[in-house]
Homo-oligomer: A and B are copies of this chain.
Amino acid sequence: MIGKEIRVFSPATVSNVGPGFDVMGFAIHEPGDEVTVRLVPGRGVKLIKITGDSGQLSLNTHENAVSIPVKAMYERLDLDFQVEIELRKCMPIGSGLGSSAASAVGGIFALNEILEGKFPKEELLKFALQGERYTSGSNHADNVAACLYGGFVLVRNGPPLDIVPVSTPDNLVCTLVSPKIEVRTKEARKLLPKTVPLSVAVNQLGNAAAMVSGLMRGDMDVVGRAMEDLIAEPVRAKLIPGYDKIRQAALDAGAIGCHISGSGPSMFAFSEEEETAMRIGRAMKMVLEGLFISCSVYISRINTNGPRIIG
């Protein structure tokens, strides 16, 4: 096995997705992480290089989302080689795009490919969740599952944990706008209420269920009306300067819905044509520029594959 090397692209993901707080997510085609895993003589797991992180991430294997899952898998097996990992971050960190999930999935997926698919996806998910848990302090699998399985998924908290697919229309396009400000997932989580009024819980579950039916039937009118988050967005929107105006600009430009991606500050919008998606991106960006905040804009269809080998 020594000498084997695999390079993987692991996609960014949008989680929460309006009413699907903590249970829904989908993968996109860009941005994402590139993870290289290489087998060399020796023992253990080593994180030898990180680029694109502006020095924000630790090379300590106990402290990085990419290496924690790889270490966990390594320790489960009796391996007679060292695993070297290189991580190239090609996406913003702490931006609500599932950065740690992309790293966690990329590393474990690459090692599993080298090991010729030794573990099934359910097991990879458990390993990857360990990396996600360390970085975000959350046990929620929405980003990790969407990244690993690809497509639009919903996570039914178990036991057992179910990753349930939700088919989406082929022409669905996602506009992602990632402002260059940071919102820590752990901080965003602290803002959440501990309890919610029964009526809010009922309306949220009605919206979530209606969104699933709408997506699966291609009824984007229903999806648009159901894309409402009554639980997290009301408190988290305050962390994003100009949130209401950005959202309104997206809707005015033709978005079916516009919400916070993950715990923010990135925001996503759905539309049905790439041209509309680009117009939405320009409109959202213009609001941010008016507030002297720069941002990255990504346009992508739903990525139904998840991670893929690129070298």
Partner of A222, one of B162, B197, B201: B162
Partner of A23, one of B20, B198, B206: B206
Contacts of A156 in B (CB 8 A): 206-207, 210, 222, 225-226
A-B contacts, 27 of them at CB < 8 A, read A19-B205, A20-B209, A22-B202, A23-B202, A23-B206, A154-B206, A156-B206, A156-B210, A156-B222, A156-B226, A157-B202, A157-B203, A158-B225, A160-B225, A162-B210, A164-B209, A164-B210, A192-B198, A195-B195, A196-B198, A196-B201, A198-B231, A201-B201, A201-B231, A208-B209, A212-B213, A216-B216
**CA of A222 to CA of B155, assembled, Å:** 11
A101 on the interface (CB 8 Å rule)? Answer: no
Besides A22-B202, A157-B203, 7 other CB < 8 A contacts? A19-B205, A164-B214, A164-B219, A166-B213, A195-B197, A196-B201, A212-B212
Contacts of A195 in B (CB 8 A): 195-198
**CA of A34 to CA of B191, assembled, Å:** 53
- Interface size class on chain A is 35 or more
A175 on the interface (CB 8 Å rule)? Answer: no
Q: Is the interface of A mostly helix, strand, loop or mixed?
A: mixed
Partner of A209, one of B154, B193, B197, B217: B154
Copies of chain A in the complex: 2
Question: CB within 8 Å of B: which residues of A?
Answer: 19-24, 154-158, 160, 162, 164-167, 192-198, 200-214, 216-217, 219, 222, 225-226, 231
Contacts of A160 in B (CB 8 A): 225
**CA of A201 to CA of B203, assembled, Å:** 10
Contacts of A198 in B (CB 8 A): 192-196, 231
Contacts of A164 in B (CB 8 A): 209-210, 213-214, 219, 222, 226
**CA of A108 to CA of B156, assembled, Å:** 40
